[in-house]
Structure 1
Amino acid sequence: MAAGPRWGSLPSVLIVDILSYLSHEDRLKASSVNKRWRNCLFHPSLWSKIKFQLGFSKRHRSRFLADRCGRFVREAVIKFNAHNCLEVREGMRIITILGSNKNLQHFALFPSSCHIEWPDSNFVNRFLNGIETIVQISRRLRHFSLGCVEELLEHSNHLLQLLSKHHSQSLKHLFLASVKEDSENYGIIWLTPDDLRPFYQLTHLSIDYDYLTNSVLESFVDRSRAKLERLIIHVHGIESTHEKISNATWQMVSAHNPVLEVTINFVHSFDGVELLLDILQPNLPLAHFRQFFCTNLNTAAINYMSTHYRNSLQSVYILDGLMDGYPVPYISQTDEDPFVMLAWRCNKLQNFSLIGYEILEDDVIAIARLRGHSLKSYNIPHCCIAVEEEEEHISWFSHGCYAPEFPQKVSENLKWNWSPIEDDELPLAVFDISADAERAYMRILLSDQQV
């Protein structure tokens, strides 16, 4: 034993190197060797990324990490309950600490809601001032996300001016899309192509459809710019005067940005779904289509997608509430189910979810057969699966009463074990119109902003 290695007296540089190969749990165990190892545990290179989770069980840990690492961490994500004033205050505290961090490169908010319950009337201004300080102090921001919070994004024009002044040559990921629960009544700030043009390194952008114009898109057709890879569009209300994006514009943008993937999210957008065919264009490189609580299904637009996005569409996620406890039937304009045609034609489709709308048992099987094991996720609720019943020459549809072998048939076609979503696995807002709908979609929308 005396001739063995003296682990407790290793040089700090070697201790840090050893710790860099260990998991977080193993680092904590290794730090118990002695005080020297404990001091090395918080070397800046070991804490380049931190997700500050402010829920009750993890708040103490996040507070400790903010105090020890907040002034040198490079990537910071703040996850908090937007309706809990204590967590909002703690988020403000962390933002204040990050405001002295010159090396911060990645700043993102991950709230539970698009609306924050501020502890007092002046708190939103203090919150914004803290974020502005981060923008002004950090030397090289690359990722900036305000987590779809409407009150913060109302100040996008001012924040863009600051970002342009300090980070126009470094910012790669900019997420400005918001969530507006009232799609028929909200204010619109003034954004122009000149607000986005300075960001030459931008590869990921989220933006509300309200600000998307031909001129804004054409600003990304510039050989001196980085290639745009992801464009995420949130659609809420649609003004009658809104400029329609032409197919020629999408053709230019797609030609200049050959790997561009577009995600379109409709959130409480009644007008948007109705006017969906005015938004879609043949050369729009649509990769992901989602609609949340829009109370309508535009089957003509679904058929359009299956025709024009065969080589680009990767996922479809449609979520709505039941009507008086029953799934909403949709009317197909053709003899074939539009989603079956989508599965047949779109050869890159990997994820499909249809929640709140009636779908026939045979069509569920047909989609699984057409996509096979290439379908990675397939979410259909038990209560939405319709089976045609007939008795004495009278036919009707029952829901959730499929044959016992039905899930097995779907599983055999998918080549993985599949089962319908049970009622208790669905968001409460599917059944209760007064329930908080954000719980059903905020996590999905925020996942777009993680790169």
Structure 2
Amino acid sequence: MVLYDTNHSNIVHQWNDLPNVVLIEIFTLLSKNDLLNASSTCTNWRQIFYHPKMWSKKRLRLKLIDRAYDLSAYRYKMQNFLLYSQLVELRFDPTQILILKEIFQVFEILAYSRQLKSLILRPITSSSCLNEKEQPTRQLCDKIFHLLKDVIECSHKLEELSFGCWSEALYSIDGLITILNQNRHQTLKSLHLASIKNNSETHSISDIYLTSEVFSPFRALHTLSIDSTYLTENLLQCFYQPERVPLNKLIVHVSEFRSDIVPINDSVWQTVSTNLPNLRVIVHMINAYETFRKYSRILRPEMPLSHLRMYFCSSLNVDMLCYLSIHYRNTLECLDVMDSITEPALRYHNPFRSEPDPLVLLAWQCKQMTELSILGYEILEVNLLAIAKLRPQLRTLNVCVDCVMTLQFGHLENRHFFEDDDGEDAFVDYGHIDNYIQRIYAKTRYIINFVRYYLKTKKCIVYFTL
């Protein structure tokens, strides 16, 4: 690769003559694909590809799923880039002991890294290998979390730490928080401690109480993810002290409703909203099969709720939707509800009642809403059109095509029959969306996805068709 003069007669310079310091600055401006193409040009440029500065500000994603390709790519990245990366994301299967051994090696390397800023753990399942009650597995997990403490102590620039709902972290979370409290309280900006409790054995884990005093020293914290059992009035009050960075995002996981948990008073939430005007509360309800009365213990009227996501709760009802419409009309931005597909689909509202559909009212009342997903519940085709008309600023609307229904009146054999309020017969046609409705959707300013998904042991394969 050479440069010629204007007459193309004499060689002026070769590209390889550029100093490495110049090449590094150029390469840092390239996209991922351009960087790969440039590294295959010559030996010198290939060496620049492995320079620590090239990877210090890029997020290194390691995937450990016990497949030959995944493990091969993981080992290549770990050996060449892990020690120099400031941003590390680890996606893994926590139920495999061989994978846990690989994680142990990752932490051994990170224990020597002094420039780590972000460590994100993303287990692909909330299942725990400790359920097998194998002593070698327990010992390995103890060694992993002991190394993780070393990583925290060594990483003086650590700003983000996420345990990704890793079940094993429940056994060591108090010790890890203590280390963070002592060493990283001035630098930590984002901390994710929430868990998912989806079986009886997880529920039997002895409770670990994180008090408000544990979080008080984190003066730079602006994002926090915790379980609802740790959400107390004292915890909220420690986040609007004048000498600390304002908390901007609070993520609360609700997997159980304990009778000994006292609901937060509305006056406290009102004070929090006044002192933290930019605070957004995100609530995730997971496998929470409870009545609306218990939901209201968490969803307080003065809470600045921006996102509500309900997964496999089987309890969406008119009372819940009306409650959201009344109390969060100025804050709610996203509502996601996902449940199993049943035959017929789950129902949140009787289509034959004279009252308006509560989802349509929700779209009308909540002026800030930009995302709406309802999967597993039957919804009338005309109501989808009404939502589109009322909220044209929606960016995303996800519904299950198998749950979209149209109503027709009269007698028809081999159809699903219902009886309306006047005693007349009506039949329901599921999964049908006429061309007129699709043309209306095409003219709106947001994306609508008709989702067809299948559920096997709560692992979803999702197909999107526009």
Q: TM-score, normalised by structure 2?
A: 0.86
Q: 1:81 to 1:226 in 2, by over 3 A?
A: same
Partner of 1:336: 356
Q: What one-letter code is carried by the residue in structure 1 that aligns with 2:101?
A: R
Give the 3-state SS of the residue equivalent to 2:83 in structure 1.
coil
Higher strand share: 2
Any stretches of 5+ residues in structure 2 without a counterpart?
5-9, 131-135, 412-422
1:86 deviation in Å?
Answer: 3.9
Residues 94 and 123 in structure 2, CA contact (< 8 A), matched pair in contact too: yes
Which whole-Å CA distance do the structure 2 matches of 1:200 and 1:152 have between them? 24
Give the 3-state SS of the residue equivalent to 2:84 in structure 1.
coil
2:327 pairs with 1:282: no
Range with greater deviation from structure 2 (391-400 or 292-301) = 391-400
Partner of 1:437: 458
2:182 pairs with 1:161: no
Partner of 1:411: 441
Partner of 2:451: 421
Which whole-Å CA distance do the structure 2 matches of 1:46 and 1:273 have between them? 52
2:141 pairs with 1:124: yes
1:354 deviation in Å?
Answer: 0.7
Residues 100 and 140 in structure 2, CA contact (< 8 A), matched pair in contact too: no
Residues 333 and 370 in structure 2, CA contact (< 8 A), matched pair in contact too: yes
Partner of 1:38: 46
Give the 3-state SS of the residue equivalent to 1:171 in structure 2.
coil
Which whole-Å CA distance do the structure 1 matches of 2:408 and 2:199 have between them? 40
Q: Aligned to 1:92, which of 86, 98, 104? A: 104
1:154 deviation in Å?
Answer: 3.3
Q: TM-score, normalised by structure 1?
A: 0.89
2:401 pairs with 1:371: no
1:230 deviation in Å?
Answer: 0.5
Tell me which of the two structures has the higher relative contact order, counting C-alpha pairs closer than 8 angstroms and 6 or more residues apart. Answer: 1
Give the 3-state SS of the residue equivalent to 2:451 in structure 1.
coil
Range with greater deviation from structure 2 (152-161 or 395-404) = 395-404
- May I ask how many residue pairs the two structures share in their alignment? 430
Which whole-Å CA distance do the structure 2 matches of 1:161 and 1:334 have between them? 57
Q: What one-letter code is carried by the residue in structure 2 that aligns with 1:11?
A: P
Partner of 1:313: 332
Task: Name the Cα RMSD after superposition.
Answer: 2.4
Which whole-Å CA distance do the structure 2 matches of 1:114 and 1:439 have between them? 15
Residues 368 and 413 in structure 1, CA contact (< 8 A), matched pair in contact too: no
Which whole-Å CA distance do the structure 1 matches of 2:309 and 2:370 have between them? 14
2:62 pairs with 1:52: yes
Range with greater deviation from structure 2 (32-41 or 302-311) = 32-41
Partner of 2:158: 141
Partner of 2:20: 12
Residues 64 and 91 in structure 2, CA contact (< 8 A), matched pair in contact too: yes
Range with greater deviation from structure 2 (349-358 or 399-408) = 399-408
Residues 235 and 266 in structure 1, CA contact (< 8 A), matched pair in contact too: yes
Partner of 1:446: none
Q: 1:59 to 1:164 in 2, by over 3 A?
A: same
Give the 3-state SS of the residue equivalent to 2:12 in structure 1.
coil
Range with greater deviation from structure 2 (109-118 or 312-321) = 109-118
Residues 410 and 418 in structure 1, CA contact (< 8 A), matched pair in contact too: no
> What does 1:348-363 align with in structure 2 at a 5 Å threshold?
348-363=368-383
Give the 3-state SS of the residue equivalent to 1:4 in structure 2.
strand
2:344 pairs with 1:326: yes
What percentage of aligned pairs have identical amino acids?
Answer: 28
Give the 3-state SS of the residue equivalent to 1:206 in structure 2.
strand
Which whole-Å CA distance do the structure 1 matches of 2:296 and 2:427 have between them? 30
